Amino acid sequence: MDLKKLRVTLLAMLSVVLVTGTAISQESAGQPPEQIRSRLSQLYDQVYQIQIIESSTQNKSSLGSGFQISADGLVITNYHVVSGLVFEPSHHKILYVDQNDNEGELELIRFDAVNDLALLRKTELSEDEQYLNLARQTPELGDSVYSLGNPRNVGMLMVSGAYNGLSDYSFAGRILFSGSLNPGMSGGPAVNASGEVIGVNVSTAGSQLSFLVPVTKIEHLLAQASDPWQPDNYMGEIAAQVKAFQADYFDQLLAPEWTPKDLGEQALVTGELGLDTSCWGNSNENDQDAKFRSLSLTCSNSNHIFLSGNFNTGVLHYSYSYREARELNPLQFHELTGGLTFYPDNRATDDEVTKYSCEQQYLVPSQEEQGHYIQAGFCTRAYINMEGLYDVLFYRHSANSSRSLMSHFTLAGVSMETAMEFTGRFLESASWK
Amino acid sequence: MEIVVEIFDSSLRNARIEKLDVTELRIGRAWNSDILVTDPDVDAEHLLVQLTEDSESFTLCDLQSTNGSRHNKKKFDGQTQAGFGDLIQLGRTRLKIHRLHDPVAVTKQRSFLDNQLVQLHRPLIALALGASAIVLQLLDMYLSSSRDLEWHSVLTSLIGMTTGLAVFALVIAGLGKLFRNEFVYWPNLGLAASAIILQKLLAVVAAWISFNALSEGLDEFISTLIIATILTLWLIPGLHLCTPLKPWIRNTITAAVVSATVVTSYILPSFRDNPWQHNQPQLVTGSMPASLLLAPEVSREEYLELITGTFADADELAVKAREENLENLENLGSER
């Protein structure tokens, strides 16, 4: 299906590679001036390599960076660095290794899956604990930012770049950093010229395009540092965080009227919904030999919440496709339009989600759709360990022997209420002119 | 006078030969028959053959048998005149009578059904069908890439059909090899019945492949009708000559298996679930269960109401999964 291919390409363009994943390694853009460099190199002692150790093999199952932020041993890293431990607390432990190869164990206090942060604490403290200071002020656009971390096993690395403000691309709020983060730098600090933490390394979307979690997101974790979570409630906490985030997100998404937009002369559809959604169009209008006419619009958000290596959520994807038979006979046209397959747009394993339960029906045609048959299909799967969260996917296909209008969406990690409200709205979002 | 009697097996390929020096012979299941036939459709005393004095022909005399006798495929009552080399059939047993000194020639005369069965024993047929399916598939890929849709729908159907037939032929070929001798005749009713059921089920699997391919191009309801017809046509000749079952029993089994398959495909949506894509739902435009063709259209409100039911279903699955996880944990705990 060309539509499916298109979607794959778009997703590939969109996907933000987490820094623990693969990323293109490049020389950093510039070197910091001498005095800054000497100041920053003093920070190296407070930046750690964070290792997640799998208990049965006693080997590391994931690797990242982290940094100390208090005298009583609090350490910040990314949630995605420690997600292995969150999902299987009894099989993992966390170690830190510092610049001088000193090792120690860390315990997980709290985490924030939506903002990709985790708060850890050293189980044993030395007499003289050094830590990094958090910046009180947000940097100005263009200010130099130095990102520190321990990529792979090559040792400490400093990457310099500029502060580019908060990205429009992310609803959760991420700093756009024009430096190139490398695998293993996840969870490391990004500091200003005076060595204060302004953000946490999190992900990269290209060689010189990286994202940082703003330091302000650390504060609410710090405020609760004295009240650690129990491992058997980790899943409940993730569920609560995703629910709260999604409630806020969809409140804003569904608040305004959705304005219809032309798709060819025949159909009206809904385009970008604001926030972090963006759409791409495609058609075969320039293809003289095409035996049918095809126009499509594919939209998605960039709000992908990482939960574990093979489980993510927060994805919204929707698309419209209009087709006209031209030289195809009804049987051929039926075959062309009757083979569109829909898949969920987030990843999840059998352990985390149920099978889909589906409902397919023919719908009563509206005034404009007389002479068409309308099929609608809806599937939902529940999150096994996070009660009240679902993935849903839906299509509505209105067609006669020569024209077809298909609309489709998938939502990941939503409550039933959100799913129903979105579906109700979406059912109306595509119509014939 | 010295004569030779050829008694054929169901395929008409192998024959048992009996040499006799008689002017009259009795054929039947009775122990004292001149030609003993172990065919349940043959009476104890079924047929009497009397040679004429000039030894140029003979008379066939049906001894009021239950299932009757045929001469050159024509049923006859009482007496009829026959020549040497003619095909004589009693029940399901076929034989020919020759003079000892006549030039020997095993006739290749076969009925249409026999031909079908014989041909399908040959793995070559299966391979040829398989090869043509591949060729068609390649052709289809080529045409699809150049967006020649006119042929695409026709070809997808053909591919499905050919693949289905190839699988079917392979199965029959395999059965033929396995039961080279037994294939001819199963006196054991239970064995014969299970062989039929096995054959039908395998054929249903083969037909299922065709079905899925067909349904891509046609409405499911129509393609089901087509498949049901193909199945019926294909399955009834199946083991036709090899079993002691009455035709109506065979047909009933066939009909039951075919209709069960067709019905199952609609009653159980899980039958269409792809086991390799556990987490992938089957949301495909145009592929609604045929049962919904007859169902009334629902309004937008009714549909939203129906959708809420899927959440309850999903919740139920989640609860079950959680309980299983707990059980597994407990089991792990007790093992340790």
Does A55 reach chain B within 8 Å, measured CB to CB? no
- Chain-centroid distance of CA B253 in Å reads 11
Q: pTM of the prediction?
A: 0.64
pLDDT of amino acid B202: 62
What DSSP element (H or E) covers A6? helix A2-14
Chain B residue numbers touching A1 (CB-CB < 8 A): none
Mark yes or no for CB contact B288/A375 under 8 Å: yes
**A377 closest CB neighbour out of B152, B278, B283:** B283
Q: A215 or B245, which is more confident?
A: A215
For position B230, what pLDDT does the model report? Answer: 56
User: In 3-state terms, what secondary structure has residue A409?
Assistant: strand
Q: In chain B, pLDDT over 70 holds for what percent of residues?
A: 43
pLDDT tens-digit profile of A221-275? Answer: 888 888 888 888 899 999 999 999 999 999 988 888 888 888 888 888 888 887 7
**Yes or no, beta carbons of B299 and A363 under 8 Å apart:** yes
pLDDT of B98 over the 70 cut: yes
**Percent with pLDDT over 90 in chain A:** 23
Check residue B277 and give its pLDDT: 40
Selected for mutation to probe chain B from A341, A395, A398 (highest B CB count within 10 Å) is A341
Amino acid A14: pLDDT: 40
Distance between CA atoms of residues B49 and B37, nearest Å = 15
Phi-psi region of B24 (alpha: psi -120 to 50; beta: other; left: phi over 0): beta
Separation CA B331–CA B335 (nearest Å): 6
Smallest Cβ–Cβ distance between A358 and the set B147, B283, B299 belongs to B283
Tell me if A375 and B286 make a contact (CB, 8 A cut-off).
yes
Higher pLDDT, B260 or A377: A377
Note the pLDDT of residue B68: 87
Q: How confident is the model at residue B170 (pLDDT cuts 50, 70, 90)?
A: low
Q: Which of B285, B310, B322 sits opposite A397 (nearest CB)?
A: B285
CB of A4 within 8 Å of any CB in chain B?
Answer: no
How confident is residue B20, by pLDDT bands cut at 50, 70 and 90? confident
Residue A295 Rama label (left phi>0; alpha psi -120 to 50; beta):
beta
Please give the Cα distance from B136 to B127 (Å, whole number). Answer: 14
pLDDT digits (tens, 9 = 90+) for A271-311: 888 778 888 988 888 888 888 888 999 998 887 889 988 89
Compute how many other C-beta atoms are within 10 angstroms of the C-beta atom of residue A329: 13
Q: Do A291 and B297 touch (CB under 8 A)?
A: no
Instruction: Identify from A56, A326, A364, A391 which residue to disrupt to test chain B contact, counting B C-beta atoms within 10 A and taking the largest count.
Output: A364
Average pLDDT over residues A209-215: 88
Answer yes or no: is pLDDT of B123 > 70.
no
**Above 60 in pLDDT, residue A23?**
no
Chain B residues in contact with A334 (beta carbon < 8 A): 219, 286
pLDDT tens-place string over residues A7-20 = 444 444 444 455 54
State the smallest CA–CA distance between residue B320 and chain A in angstroms: 9
Task: Return the higher-pLDDT residue of B190 and A199.
Answer: A199
What is the reported pLDDT for B115?
Answer: 41
Is the pLDDT reported for residue B113 higher than 60? no
Of the ranges B85-99, B127-141, B192-206, the best mean pLDDT one: B85-99
Residue type, A182: N
Q: What is the DSSP letter of A353?
A: B
Rounded to the nearest 10 degrees, the angle between the axes of helix A416-427 and helix A234-254 is: 30
pLDDT for the residue numbered B16: 81
CA-closest candidate to residue A77, choices A44, A111, A46, A43: A111
Q: Greater confidence, A429 or A394?
A: A394
Say what the pLDDT of residue B253 is: 67
CA distance A242 to chain B (A): 18
- Which residue in the set B152, B297, B308 is minimally distant from A364, CB to CB? B297
Tokens at B244, concatenated: 């002691």
Indicate if the pLDDT at residue A79 is higher than 90: yes
A residues 75-114 lying closer than 8 A (beta carbon) to B: none
A326 touching B (Cβ < 8 Å): no
Across A80-89, B247-256, B267-276, B319-328, least confident range: B267-276
Q: Nearest CB to B281: which of A340, A356, A374? A: A356
B273-290 mean pLDDT? 53
Return the higher-pLDDT residue of A300 and A4.
A300
Question: Which chain B residues have any C-beta within 8 angstroms of a chain A C-beta?
Answer: 147, 149-150, 152-153, 156, 216-219, 278-289, 292, 295, 297-300, 303-304, 306-311, 313-315, 317-318, 321-322, 325
Q: How far, CA to CA in Å, does B147 sit from each of A285, A289, B138, B143, B219?
A: 15, 9, 14, 6, 22
Q: What is the pLDDT of residues B221-273, one digit of tens each?
A: 555 555 555 555 454 444 444 445 566 776 676 667 666 655 655 444 433 44
* Of the listed ranges A24-28, A394-398, B36-40, the one predicted with least confidence: A24-28
Percent of chain A with pLDDT over 70: 91
What is chain A's mean pLDDT, rounded?
Answer: 83
Distance, CA of A270 to CA of A242 (rounded, Å): 26
> Are B279 and A393 a contacting pair at CB < 8 A?
no
* Rounded Cα–Cα distance for residues B130 and B171 (Å): 12
Q: What is the pLDDT of residue B49?
A: 92
Measure Cα distances from A155 to A51, A100, A184, B5 in Å: 14, 10, 10, 96
d(CA B24, CA B1): 9
Q: What gap in Å lies between CA A299 and CA A318, rounded to an integer?
A: 5
Q: What is the pLDDT of residues A91-109, one digit of tens each?
A: 899 999 888 888 899 999 9
Q: How far is CA A275 from CA A254, A255, A389, B88, in A?
A: 11, 12, 22, 87
> Which residues does chain B have within 8 Å of residue A364's beta carbon, measured at their own beta carbons?
297-300
Contacts of B279 in chain A (CB under 8 A): 344, 348-350, 353, 355-356, 381
H/E stretch holding A53 reads strand A47-54
When pLDDT is cut at 50, 70 and 90, the band that residue A140 belongs to is: confident
pLDDT of residue A382: 92
How many angstroms separate the CA of residue A342 from the nearest CA in chain B? 6
Long-range contacts of A371-375 (CB under 8 A, 24+ apart): A371/A400, A372/A398, A372/A399, A372/A400, A372/A403, A372/A432, A373/A398, A373/A399, A373/A400, A374/A398, A374/A399, A374/B297, A375/B285, A375/B286, A375/B288
pLDDT for B236:
45
Residue bearing the bigger pLDDT, A76 or B73 = A76
pLDDT confidence bin for B10, thresholds 50/70/90: low
pLDDT at site B184: 37
Q: For position A61, what pLDDT does the model report?
A: 84
Least confident of A40-44, A293-297, A344-348, B210-214: B210-214
Confidence grade of residue B276 (pLDDT, cut at 50, 70, 90): very low
CA dihedral A24, A30, A31, A35 (to 10 degrees): -140
The model's confidence at residue B199, banded by pLDDT at 50, 70 and 90, is low
Cβ burial A301-312 (10 Å sphere, 16+ → b, else e): bbbbbbbbbebb
Name the β-bridge partners of B5: B18, B97
DSSP per-residue string spanning A150-203: --TTS--EEEEEEEEEE-TT-SS--EEE-S---TT-TT-EEE-TTS-EEEEEEE
Q: Which residue stretches of A15-143 are H helix?
A: 34-41, 79-87
